[in-house]
Amino acid sequence: MHFTFVLQLLQIIFNSPWRVLRAHVCYVGCSVSVTLSCLGLISFSYFDPSETLTSDFIMS
């Protein structure tokens, strides 16, 4: 299943013109980087070490 998907992807890559392929790569790269940065911001805001340390310090 996964192997056929990879083969289809390779077929699409080799059949598509370079400009279209480059646009697809840029689009996917931008999507991935935006998603990763959003996840990083969310995890950083949830797991901010300084915030938890100060709140623990105030509680004690």
Name, of 8-12, 22-26, 30-34, the range with top average pLDDT: 30-34
pTM above 0.75, yes or no: no
Residue 52 has, within 13 A of its CA and on its CB side, a CA count of 6
Per-residue three-class SS string for the chain: CHHHHHHHHHHHHHHCCHHHHHHHHHHHHHHHHHHHHHHHHHHHHHCCHHHHHHHHHHHC
Residue 7, amino acid: L
pLDDT tens per residue across span 40-52: 887 776 665 565 5
How far CA 1 is from CA of 8, 15, 24, 28, in Å, comes to: 11, 21, 23, 22
pLDDT tens per residue across span 5-22: 888 888 877 777 778 778
Q: What does the domain layout of the chain look like in residue ranges?
A: 1-58
